[in-house]
Copies of this chain bind each other. A is one copy, B any other.
Amino acid sequence: MTTDTTKADEIALRIEEAIVSGELPPGSVLRQEQLSERFAVSRTPVREALRRLAALGLVSFVPNRGVRVRTLSRAELREAFLVRAELESLATELAAPKLTPDDLAELEEAEERFSVATQALRARPRDDDERWRLTSDWVSANHGFHDVIYRVADAPLIERLAKSARRSFSGHAVWAPGGSEVDALYERNDREHRAIIAALRAGNGEGARALARAHVLHSYELLVHVLELASVA
């Protein structure tokens, strides 16, 4: 068994997963020892993993006092979306001239899944467990759509940074659905995906870029709406 990855890396991924899934909520303190026993390793690789996550901005170190999962202020949340809007629109523009028919088909398929997830979410079951599962589906379908674009753009650095910005707020995504006002926003999100596809199909890089930018900023509005509704509840 030749490990071409180190334990610290694997653990970093698993902790990251736990953070973005919301299992480790923002603000919670991470004890090195309990992480080490959870993953059945010593504290050393755990600490290295935490260093990595700290550099990514997911957790913050307080010397001699441990690490805690980063909480984003409203301003930071906004910033993260602004960054993502710029990087994603750039990626979309880069992707436009490279798009093959196969890519286009894949993109449409991803959009189809997203559309289904959106409708399912709008049906909004009262059961909390079901709701959580559906929002989780919705989020990953959404990511799936955007990931196709990143792949086609073939720009590793941009992809890395954009996803890092995306991750930084996924832990905040309670994504509690709201009323008809929020429904309209979900609907718009879906429509915008199709518009981006249309622009890409037409080979209109500039247009796709502008659409992608607006789309991400609109997603921010959606998230803010949802967060406000959640905080009132």
Main secondary structure of the interface of A (DSSP, over half): helix
Q: Which of A19-27, A47-55, A141-149, A193-201 contacts B (4 or more CB under 8 A)?
A: A47-55
**Interface 1/0 per residue, A41-79 and B, CB below 8 Å:** 000100110011111110001010000000000001001
Interface flag for A222 (CB, 8 Å): no
Interface flag for A165 (CB, 8 Å): yes
**In the complex, chain B residues whose CB is within 8 Å of the CB of A47:** 48
- The answer to whether B158 touches A4, judged by C-beta atoms less than 8 angstroms apart, is no
* Among candidates B44, B79, B158, residue contacting A156 with C-beta atoms closer than 8 Å: B79
* Among candidates B48, B86, B160, residue contacting A51 with C-beta atoms closer than 8 Å: B48
- The answer to whether B158 touches A161, judged by C-beta atoms less than 8 angstroms apart, is no
A11 to chain B, nearest CB (A): 12
Interface flag for A80 (CB, 8 Å): yes
A10 to chain B, nearest CB (A): 11
**In the complex, chain B residues whose CB is within 8 Å of the CB of A53:** 55
**In the complex, chain B residues whose CB is within 8 Å of the CB of A15:** none
- The answer to whether A82 touches B90, judged by C-beta atoms less than 8 angstroms apart, is yes
Q: Which of A183-208 contact B (CB under 8 A)?
A: none
- The answer to whether B52 touches A157, judged by C-beta atoms less than 8 angstroms apart, is no
Interface flag for A8 (CB, 8 Å): yes
**Interface 1/0 per residue, A200-232 and B, CB below 8 Å:** 000000000000000000000000000000000
Interface flag for A155 (CB, 8 Å): yes
A147 to chain B, nearest CB (A): 18
A-side residues, CB < 8 A to B, are: 3-6, 8-9, 44, 47-48, 51-57, 61, 63, 76, 79-80, 82-83, 86-87, 90, 94, 155-158, 160-161, 165, 168
Q: What are 8 inter-chain pairs, A to B, with CB distance below 8 A?
A: A3-B63, A5-B63, A47-B48, A51-B51, A52-B55, A82-B155, A82-B158, A83-B87
